[in-house]
Amino acid sequence: MISRRTAATAVLVAATAVSGTVLGAGTASATDLPLPVSGAEYRVSSKAGGALQWDSRTNGSNVVVRDWNEASAQQLWTIKDEGAGTWSVKVPGSNNALDRDLGRNTVGAWNYVAADNQRWSLHNTSLGDGRGWLLRNVSDPGLCLVRGADLNAKVAACNAGDPAQNWNLDRNTGTTPPSPGRPVIDLDYSRAPDLGPWLEQQKQTIADYYATISGLVTKGAWTAAPRFRIVLDPQITDHPAEARSGAVPEIHANINYTRGNQNDTGFLLHEAAHVAFFGHPGRPWWLEEGLADWVRYYNFQPGTVHPLAPGDRYDSGYSATARLIDYVTNAYRRPDLPYLLNTRDYGSGQIWVQLTGKTADQLWNEMPK
């Protein structure tokens, strides 16, 4: 068994079965499917439904089967000829690849060290349209990659007639871009795999709403990040979640909070708003948080804003600031206020006077509590 400290990744050994003969890499009969193009990206989909998906680029991450999603980067795999009729199937941009756990017969994405349990042979099958491949594990050729009933990737006794063991390899041509305004969202729930199905659902909701966030607060003045990552992070313990800027922004979520609040999509939506804001920095922290809560409580979840707490002011941030933003937006007929608060240099706060003739303190005092 490969030590999980050194982390083995599964490699796909590709060969084609022709009249009982296994052909080496780069060889195929004219009547059979061609072998993969080495180094190209493919979507690996099951004839039982869904596509093979990695949950993160973290070493040891889960490999699952999810609904085919043309826009999902997590359903792309780099298939590379490793010589001697063997291929690796790796998470793009990493050395992690499909790996059979010898003890449990599960499959994950581990660091590739070219071990037998990381290599597979690929056999064309005649099931259905004849486009399927049976993936046999080199460490035990009697075991094949299978879409488990629980939608996790596993190995089982090979059966060429089983749709769950027949896989299509469709090369990614890059000709079908994501829908306009819809981001690519990577997920990492490797440290809380029980929350994986829930997070997959939230991912779709957030992706669906992301263009609305951009329309509310950017209006095209800058491009909201087209890709970000959501991580279930055991180090986040004293607040529900936080957003972090970077080349690929990240949202780190509190595992315990998430586990106990699975009816709450809004806390992730709040952080997704921060991700959209990152393209134009310069707001004070309380305004940043107020704008994110305004998106959440007055647009995504209208009617759910928290009541004011004793001592709250317009610059208390979060829902208190969100109340002022919404009040001024409606009372002074300034639907562009959230956008202007994002795109103008806040400076000393003169924007309130410029837009309403009153200071933020005066607006807060007149606002119905």
Mean pLDDT, residues 319-333: 95
DSSP one-letter code for 298: I
Band (pLDDT 50/70/90 cuts) for residue 232 is: very high
Quick one: pLDDT at residue 293? 96
pLDDT in tens, 302-323: 888 989 999 999 999 999 999 9
Quick one: pLDDT at residue 121? 86
Quick one: pLDDT at residue 32? 60
For the cut 70, the answer to whether the pLDDT of residue 28 exceeds it is: no
Band (pLDDT 50/70/90 cuts) for residue 208 is: confident
pLDDT in tens, 67-99: 887 777 888 998 888 878 788 888 887 888 899
176 burial (CB, 10 Å; 0-12 / 13-18 / 19+) is exposed
Q: What percent of the chain has pLDDT over 70?
A: 89
Closest CA to 128 of 47, 63, 57, 186: 47
- The answer to which of 59-68, 227-236, 252-261 has the lowest mean pLDDT is 59-68
80 burial (CB, 10 Å; 0-12 / 13-18 / 19+) is buried
Quick one: pLDDT at residue 29? 31
Quick one: pLDDT at residue 237? 96
pLDDT in tens, 100-155: 999 888 999 998 889 899 988 888 888 877 788 999 898 999 999 999 988 889 99
Quick one: pLDDT at residue 31? 36
How far is 369 from 353, CA to CA, in rounded Å?
A: 21
The mean predicted confidence, pLDDT, of the chain is 83
φ, ψ (nearest 5 deg) of residue 86: -115, 150
Quick one: pLDDT at residue 67? 84
- At position 185, the amino acid (one-letter code) is I
For the cut 80, the answer to whether the pLDDT of residue 16 exceeds it is: no
Band (pLDDT 50/70/90 cuts) for residue 11 is: very low
Measured CA distances, 176 to 52, 93, 105, 113 (Å): 19, 20, 35, 33
Quick one: pLDDT at residue 278? 85
CB 76 within 8 A of CB 91: no
CB 217 within 8 A of CB 291: yes
| Highest mean pLDDT out of 44-58, 160-174, 262-276 | 262-276
Closest CA to 330 of 285, 368, 289: 368
Band (pLDDT 50/70/90 cuts) for residue 336 is: confident
For the cut 70, the answer to whether the pLDDT of residue 266 exceeds it is: yes
Quick one: pLDDT at residue 179? 54
Band (pLDDT 50/70/90 cuts) for residue 296 is: very high
